[in-house]
Amino acid sequence: MALLSLQHIKKTFEQGTINENPVLRGLDLDIEQGDFISVIGGNGAGKSTLMNSIAGVLDIDEGDILLEGRSIRKDSVDVRSKDISRVFQDPRMGTATNLSIEENMAIAYRRGKKRSFFKKSITDEERQIFREALVGLGLGLEDRMKTDANFLSGGQRQALTLAMATLVRPKILLLDEHTAALDPKTSDMVMNLTRKLVEEQELTTLMITHNMEHAIEYGNRLVMLYHGKIVVDVRGEEKKNLTVAQLMDLFHKNSGEALNDDALVLG
């Protein structure tokens, strides 16, 4: 049984109007325990809608989403957040600017628990857990735990968000173009941290990226969306041995269209 199963997912925006836009058109995807899947596709392919549907931000029109065999289609974002963590493209979305590093981590650590963060101070035991997680990032943030997130760079905030997203091991980690807003050097740093955390915790991960080299380099599986359906799904050695040119050719063969640099990024 797949860990997460998307079954004939359909989502149409502005349904019944002249602006009707079918984005997901019967998408099927089984995600196995331990998969690290790169998701690519041109603008409008349905990548963000797919991720929002999994996270519960959007209600799907048809189909079902099963987590460990149980339908989560009607579960709220809050309910799903107990099992599904997400890192966004904008580093500012993953942290509360006016809270310190340790306060942000406390919120993440207590996600899904009944007791409110604001009703309970941070314990020494929790502070030690946070420190150990920060040490693993290798950025010295463990010595700045009282610092407000507002004073961190974009790369530091994204690294912190990654640590927060994995502080309590999620069943699914969603990475929503989480390096797109960073410069190339910082992007590489965050991607290396991503690989480290995913491998250490054996996380099942879905990563949207516009960077074809990252899509090939990271993870064990690559899927490509086109008009709301998966047209390419490669894994293992086949994926590992792909070149960017071969990937573009695969897309062309399966969609009848050619990719260009505006749709996906080379490097």
Which pLDDT tens digit goes with each residue over 26-69?
999 999 999 999 999 988 899 999 999 999 999 999 999 999 99
**For residue 192, is it within any domain?**
yes
In a domain, 126, yes or no: yes
Q: Which of 44, 49, 7, 10 is nearest to 29 (CA)?
A: 7
Q: Give the Cβ contact number of residue 21 at 10 Å.
A: 13
Residue 263 lies in a domain: no
Q: Residue 148: CB partners within 8 Å, gap ≥ 6?
A: 97, 98, 99, 100, 101
Nearest to 50 by CA among 256, 228, 261, 238: 228
Q: Is residue 197 part of a domain?
A: yes
CB contact at 8 A, 149 and 99: yes
- 7 lies in a domain? no
Where on the phi/psi map is residue 26: left (φ > 0), alpha (ψ -120 to 50), or beta? left
Residues 136 and 190 in one domain: no
- Strand 4-13 and strand 21-31: pairing? antiparallel
Are 101 and 112 part of one and the same domain? Answer: yes
State whether 112 and 87 are in the same domain.
no
174 and 49 within one domain? yes
**Residue-range definition of the domain harbouring residue 54:** 31-59+75-95+168-255
- Structural domain includes residue 157: no
Verify that 144 and 110 share a domain, yes or no: yes
177 and 230 housed in the same domain: yes
CATH number at residue 223: 3.40.50.300
Q: In one letter, which amino acid is 177? A: E
Indicate the number of domains in the chain: 2
H or E, element range at 252? helix 244-255
213 and 251 within one domain: yes
State whether 113 and 240 are in the same domain.
Answer: no
- Residues 142-175 pLDDT 10s: 999 999 999 999 999 999 999 999 999 999 999 9
Q: Is residue 8 part of a domain?
A: no
Is the pTM above the cut of 0.85? yes
Q: Would you say residue 25 lies in a domain?
A: no
| Residue 178 and residue 243 share a domain | yes
The answer on 225 and 182 residing in a single domain is yes
pLDDT tens by residue, 115-127: 554 446 888 999 9
Question: Could you tell me if 91 and 179 lie in one domain?
Answer: yes
Express each pLDDT in 81-119 by its tens digit: 999 999 999 888 888 889 999 999 999 998 766 555 444
Residues 178 and 139 in one domain: no
